Every structure is written in structure tokens, then in C-alpha cells.
């Protein structure tokens, strides 16, 4: 019996010839990461346990991206604790304000993640890095404290579900639509502690940015990790990264065997997937955007670790350029990194968004988790390119969040209600 890509990566990390679903393994960590919410908790546990040194200062990343620049005194204290810990332990990859980005955009884009890596993070959306054919998964702060000290973790090898997307996505349909549609099919617990392996013709057509989006939301279906196989697009992405990630690739590119065992295989016709929106209050509450035109909105958020890359901002600008955000809508842009900001300046994307009436933020997770930079009041509705729309996720429990792609979010910002690009005169052909 063959092995899945996830099993092969975990076998390498465990120093074994092979592992199988259900095995309990001790695996070597290639990268461990935390942010300004989760790291202070982990630091407290690290010190309480009596640890005095980290396993490798070059393989830990501390990223103050949730409440920075600090929104209040408590947030400043959290960031200070992480900053001092990083200095004390000479953490190489500590990213201060002005250099920081949203962790799940920043780390792969700076070349810190390579194919075949085992990445753990004290943040549930660590599953994002599966887009570069790595195994990455979230964990609690206590487990992260142990990972920082030892550089090893205990894992149960997950079963894998293979999602095969046939055909080519239609006009304006992106990876965000595919993953929202998929979560709608299987539910928020449809892949509980399982690897979500994305494959098929449609996945091969997606950009790396869209693959990151799909893997990012694996956790919203309960997945242990999301993963895409290595191909030419992965190679091109890595060639644009610092040398370190490319150097680690040798001998660590894995592919699922033809006779690998899967818990199940789901076939999805990507050409039939509509522009999709997840209604309150679950990512699985999926519906066609075209059916929600009666939903008026107060705010649009474009960005986050799910859709804060330059391609996402360009998609929004393609809709908004030369037009104006609806008078009743606040449109907020949350770029993933400082480099995304620079790229958006260089090609006119930022100018187009600002001229359309958008507020352009420093990189932060703030609005996504209802922390700052876009908190919703009671009774307000938002369309967001973020990943969660739980009760109270972006502010007041009486607010509502609709998840969508940058194309749909931008169109909705113009219309003042949920809309598609065609509704606002963007044409039928779409970008594909």
C-alpha cells in the first residue's frame, strides 16, 4: 500500500521509512511560530516549566501581527513580553512593527517554509503552508512552549481526504470560492483531524496565492492540515524566495502514491462552482453570491491571512479602479506584508483602491478577529475576505459577517449589497 504526501512528510520528520494513518509519532520540527496573542501564553508556560533555552533560535518565528501597532495598553504589554523574550533568547525571526506582516503571508513569502517541512504554530491557520507542499498545523500555546524547548512534537498521523477538482473555474471564480463551496459540501467538521489534499485540473490552474487561500481554510472544515502537491508553480514561487527555502527543497519533494489509502475521495466539478459566499454564522453556510443581492452591507474587509496577498488586492482593484465605494459602505484593506504594500504602490493597486474610497491599513489581523481596525457594531453587516464568520467574530454578537472572495467583496463595496462583478459592470468574461 502506498502513502499520501502527508504521510511521507511525517515519515521524514519522524526519521522513519513510512508511517500510516493512526500512528503516534515523535517528529522533528522545521519551524515553530506564534503571534502576539499566543506567544505570551506560551512564554509563561515555557518559563513555568523551567526551560532556559530554545531548541534553535533560527527556527522559531515570533510575529506580532494581531494587535500591532498596539491598540491599547494590554496589547502593548503582550507585545513587550514577546519582544523581550525574543531578545533574551536571540530569536532570529522576530519581526518588529515596520517589518512585520500577517504571519501566514509573511513567513512563506520570506522563504521560511519549504516543501517537505513540518511546521507547527500557535495559531489555527498555520495550515496555510500546505500550499508549498509542506505539512503545517496549529497547536495550543502550551504545546508550542514544549515545541520551542525541544524542537519535537508528538502527532497522530491523520487520515487523508483527497479532493479532486475537475474542469476549470468559471469567470471570476477563485480558490476562495472553491474552498467555501467545499466546506459547504462537507461541513465545519467534515474533515475533522484529517489531511485535506487538494488536487485535479482546477488546482493546477490556480495561482500560488489561491492555493494558500484554500489551505488556509482547511481548519474551517476541521482539517488537521491542507496540502497541495509540488508542481511547476511551486518551483516558480520558490525561485522568487530567498535561497534558504530553495536549498532545503532537495530530497524533500514528495507526492502521493497512486495506491495511497484515503479515508474518502470527493470529486468536484470546478466549472460548476458559482461565485460563493458563506452566510452567518458558519463557513459551511455557503450560498451563491447571485442569490444574496437583497443583503445590504455596512462594511467590506479585503485582506487577512486568507486573502491579503498582492494578487488578492489586484483582484479587488480590478473591480474598484475608476469607481467609488458606495456611500453607505466602509471599505478596509488589510495587506499581508510590507512587501505587499510596496508591490501595491509600484503597480498602482494601492492608488486605485484609495481613490475608490478604501482605507488602506498597515499589515494586521485586527479586523478579522474583531480586535481593531474595523470592529462591527450591533446590527451591522460585513462582507469579508477573511476566514471565519462566527457569532461575534468581527465585533458585536449582533453583527453579521459574510465570507467571500476579493472580487465579490469589491463588487459588494460598490453596490452597497452583496454583488458579483457582473452586477457592477465588470463584464462576463472574467480574468480567466
pLDDT at 244 over 60: no
The per-residue pLDDT of the chain, averaged, comes to 94
Q: What is the mean pLDDT of residues 231-247?
A: 81
pLDDT tens column, 88-116: 999 999 999 999 999 999 999 999 999 99
Residue-wise pLDDT tens digits, 146-169: 999 999 999 999 999 999 999 999
The predicted structure's pLDDT at residue 136: 97
Query: Which three-class secondary structure string do you get for the chain?
Result: CECCHHHHHHHHHHCCCCCCCCCEEEEECCEEEEECCHHHHHHHHHHHCCCCCCCCCCCEEEECCCCCCCCCHHHHHHHHHHHHHHHHCCCCEECCCCCCCCHHHHHHHCCCCCCCCEEEECCHHHHHHHHHCCEEEECCHHHHHHHHHHCEEEEECCEEEEEEEECCCCCCCCHHHHHHHHHHHHCCCCCCCEEEEEECHHHHHCCHHHHHHHHHHHHHHCCCEEEECCCHHHHHHHHCCCHHHHHCCCCCCCCCCCCECCCEEEEEEHHHCCCEEECCCCCCCEEEHHHCCCCECCEEEEEHHHHCCHHHHHHHHHHHCCCCCCCCCEEEEECCCHHHHHHHHHCCHHHHHHHCCEEECCCCCCCCCCCCCCCECCCCEEEECCCCCCCCCCECCCCEEEECCHHHHHHHHHHCECCCHHHHCCCCCCCC
pLDDT higher than 70, residue 430: no
Decide: 100 and 133 in contact? Cβ < 8 Å. no
Dihedral (C-alpha) 54, 158, 368, 389: value to the nearest 10 degrees? -160
Reported confidence tier of residue 246, pLDDT bands at 50, 70, 90? low
Instruction: Specify the pLDDT at position 243.
Output: 66
Residue closest to 197 by CA, chosen among 244, 247, 264, 148: 264
- Per-residue pLDDT of 3-31, as tens digits, reads 999 999 999 999 999 999 999 999 999 99
Cell of 147: 515545541
| CA-wise closest residue to 108 among 139, 93, 88, 129 | 129
Confirm or reject CATH 3.30.499.10 for domain 5-250+259-269, answering yes or no. Answer: yes
Q: What is the pLDDT of residue 150?
A: 96
Q: Mean of the pLDDT values across residues 326-350?
A: 97
Is pLDDT at 251 greater than 90 in this prediction?
Answer: no
Confidence band, pLDDT 50/70/90 cuts, at residue 239: confident
The pLDDT, as a whole number, for residue 176 is 98
The model's pLDDT over 163-191, given as tens digits with 9 standing for 90+, comes to 999 999 999 999 999 999 999 999 999 99
Superfamily of domain 277-424 in CATH is Aconitase, domain 3 (3.30.499.10)
Confidence of residue 245 (pLDDT cuts 50, 70, 90): low
Give per-residue pLDDT as tens, 61-80.
999 999 989 999 999 999 99
Which residues make up the CATH 3.30.499.10 domain(s) of the chain?
Answer: 5-250+259-269, 277-424
Amino acid at each position: 500500500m502506498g502513502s499520501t504526501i502527508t504521510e511521507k512528510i511525517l515519515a521524514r520528520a519522524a526519521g522513519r521509512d513510512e508511517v500510516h494513518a493512526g500512528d503516534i509519532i515523535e517528529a522533528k520540527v522545521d519551524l515553530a511560530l506564534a503571534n502576539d496573542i499566543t506567544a505570551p501564553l506560551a512564554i509563561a508556560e515555557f518559563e513555568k516549566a523551567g526551560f532556559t533555552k530554545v531548541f534553535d533560535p533560527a527556527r522559531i518565528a515570533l510575529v506580532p501581527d494581531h494587535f500591532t501597532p498596539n491598540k491599547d495598553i494590554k496589547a502593548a504589554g503582550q507585545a513587550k513580553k514577546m519582544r523581550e523574550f525574543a531578545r533574551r533568547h536571540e530569536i532570529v525571526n522576530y519581526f518588529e512593527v515596520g517589518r512585520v506582516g500577517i504571519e501566514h503571508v509573511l513567513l512563506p513569502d520570506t522563504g521560511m517554509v519549504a516543501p517537505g517541512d513540518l511546521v507547527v504554530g500557535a495559531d489555527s491557520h498555520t495550515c496555510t503552508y500546505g500550499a508549498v507542499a509542506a505539512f503545517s498545523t496549529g497547536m495550543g500555546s502550551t504545546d508550542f512552549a514544549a515545541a520551542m524547548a525541544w524542537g519535537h512534537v508528538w502527532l497522530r498521523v491523520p487520515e487523508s481526504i483527497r479532493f479532486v477538482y475537475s474542469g476549470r473555474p468559471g469567470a471570476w471564480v477563485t480558490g476562495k470560492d472553491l474552498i467555501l463551496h467545499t466546506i459547504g459540501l462537507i461541513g465545519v467538521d467534515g474533515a475533522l483531524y484529517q489531511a485535506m489534499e487538494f488536487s485535479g485540473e482546477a488546482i493546477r490552474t490556480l495561482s500560488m496565492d489561491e492555493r494558500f487561500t484554500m489551505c488556509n481554510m482547511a481548519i474551517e472544515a476541521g482539517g488537521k492540515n491542507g496540502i497541495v502537491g509540488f508542481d511547476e508553480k511551486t518551483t516558480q514561487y520558490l525561485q522568487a524566495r530567498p535561497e534558504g527555502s530553495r536549498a532545503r527543497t532537495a530530497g524533500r519533494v514528495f507526492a502521493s502514491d497512486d495506491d495511497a489509502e484515503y479515508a474518502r475521495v470527493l470529486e468536484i466539478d470546478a466549472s460548476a462552482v458559482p461565485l460563493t459566499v458563506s452566510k452567518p454564522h458558519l463557513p459551511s453556510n455557503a450560498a451563491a453570491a447571485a442569490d444574496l443581492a437583497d443583503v445590504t452591507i455596512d462594511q467590506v474587509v479585503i485582506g487577512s491571512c486568507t486573502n491579503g496577498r498582492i494578487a488578492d488586492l489586484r483582484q479587488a482593484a480590478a473591480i474598484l479602479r475608476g469607481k467609488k465605494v458606495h456611500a453607505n459602505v466602509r471599505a478596509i484593506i488589510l495587506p499581508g506584508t510590507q512587501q505587499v504594500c510596496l508591490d501595491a504602490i509600484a503597480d498602482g493597486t494601492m492608488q486605485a483602491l484609495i481613490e475608490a474610497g478604501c482605507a488602506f491599513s498597515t499589515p494586521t489581523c485586527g479586523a478579522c478577529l474583531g480586535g481593531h481596525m474595523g470592529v462591527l457594531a450591533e446590527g451591522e453587516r460585513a462582507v469579508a475576505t477573511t476566514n471565519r464568520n462566527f457569532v461575534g467574530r468581527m465585533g458585536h454578537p449582533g453583527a453579521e459577517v459574510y465570507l467571500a472572495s476579493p472580487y465579490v467583496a469589491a463588487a459588494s463595496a460598490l453596490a452597497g449589497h452583496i454583488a458579483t462583478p457582473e452586477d457592477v459592470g465588470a463584464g462576463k468574461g472574467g480574468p480567466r
